[in-house]
Amino acid sequence: MATIEPRVASDGSKRYRVRVRLQGELPRTKTFKRLTDAKAWAAKVESDMGHGAYVPTARERRRTLKVLIEKYRDEYLPTRGIRDESKQRSLLTWWEENFGHLTLDKLQPETIAEARRKLQARRKRNGEPLSGATVNRHLAALSAVCKWAWKELRWLPSNPVLDVSKAPESTGIVRFLSDAERNALLKACRESSDSNIATAVLLALATGARYSNIRGLKWSDVDRDQWRLRFAETKNGQPRYVPVVGPAQVALQAHHDRDPTGEGWVFKGAHDDAPADLDKPWRKLREAAKLQDFRFHDLRHTTASYLTMNGASLAEVAEALGHRTLVMAKRYSHQTGEHVRSTLERMAGHLTETPESG
């Protein structure tokens, strides 16, 4: 039942404090300037609580997004075992700095939509706007927090991010090495004095693995009996085993022979606590090969593109690259002009009339 108590504020004005109680529930309280507003709120809360709808308590209305993010970051995020926890923390810092003051009852879809527009208006250091993918990663980070608050803490009645449209993402151009570029890159690898980057590039081309997986390899992850790599920390959270064949196998064996320890990081850096930084050597190698607008991640695109051009199905590409669905693999279903020509020529052979036997 609801009770309304008249009160006098510090400035002498009259206030109406509403208190709604229901057996088995914490009381809900709120103060209004007008009696009509107090009665309307009391009736609605009584109805909502009677039907099992979520009604925040006074304490819950004082909880802020900053408090929720801090709790998530301290208690839940470390248990998730995600590959790039530091990136997740960085995304949540943006929400904490820009919207941390909001109480959770104000965390509505329209507020999050406004935050999305704010992100879309942001500029990077080079003056370009944030990509749709980057904006959506910010939304995904908040969504994970809200889902936890909703499902486990019961601090939210639902996940408000689910009611907000994502930013449009560009399908982008899948960049992969042409035959001439591949030859130039392999030549640069042979001539490089840095065995770390030369071996890493060959592994990337042969396996389609991500930069983080290759850089983080340890010799304990390399099975030289069956010649396969074990990637323990993958994007989908599942360990993955990838075979190593051809020149990459030869290069990896030579790399092992040059390692006096045969233990620890495959790509050793200046200190034992971290692998070598492959970014600067990669840029130097890319410059030597005269590759334009080509990232290390495009080596993964190259592997996938070569697989499709050699007849691999989307399912086979997805399995080779560790995708859980075919959505990402579809980006690599393009073909070069000459490959299209050879495919059509093979098909044309079935369009001619063949003589009947006997």
DSSP state of 168: P
Tokens of 49: 């609580």
Residue with tokens 């007008």: 34
pLDDT value at residue 235: 60
| List of long-range contacts for 262-270, beta carbons under 8 Å, 24+ apart | 262/219, 263/219, 263/220, 264/218, 264/219, 265/217, 265/218, 265/219, 266/199, 266/217, 266/218, 266/219, 266/221, 266/222, 267/196, 267/199, 267/200, 267/214, 267/215, 267/217, 268/196
CATH homologous superfamily for 179-340? Intergrase catalytic core (1.10.443.10)
Closest by Cα among 25, 19, 59 to 39? 19
Q: Give yes or no for residue 121 having a pLDDT over 50.
A: yes
Confidence class of residue 42 from pLDDT cuts 50, 70 and 90? confident
The CA distance from 105 to 60, in Å, is 8
**For 65-163, which CATH class?**
mainly alpha
pLDDT class for 255, splitting at 50, 70, 90? Answer: very high
Tens of pLDDT, residue by residue over 277-332, are 888 999 999 999 999 888 898 888 888 877 777 776 767 666 667 766 555 655 65
Identify the weakest region by mean pLDDT among 34-43, 86-95, 104-113: 34-43
Helix (H, G, I), strand (E, B) or coil at 51: coil
With tokens 């996940």, the residue in question is: 159
Tokens (6 digits) for 206: 């042969």
Angle, CA of 281, 286 and 290, to the nearest 5°: 150
Distance in angstroms between the alpha carbons of the first and the last residue of the chain: 96
pTM of the model: 0.53
Dihedral of alpha carbons 207, 209, 213, 214, sign: positive
pLDDT, tens digit, 9 for 90 and up, residues 232-252: 766 655 678 888 888 899 999
- Mean residue pLDDT of the chain comes to 82
Residue 259 has pLDDT above 80, yes or no: yes
DSSP 8-state code for residue 208: -
pLDDT at residue 161, as a whole number: 95
pLDDT at 335 over 60: no
Percent of the chain with pLDDT over 70: 78
Model confidence at 336, in pLDDT bands (50, 70, 90)?
A: very low
Q: What is the pLDDT of residues 260-281, one digit of tens each?
A: 888 999 999 888 888 888 889 9
Domain spans of the chain?
Answer: 2-55, 65-163, 179-340
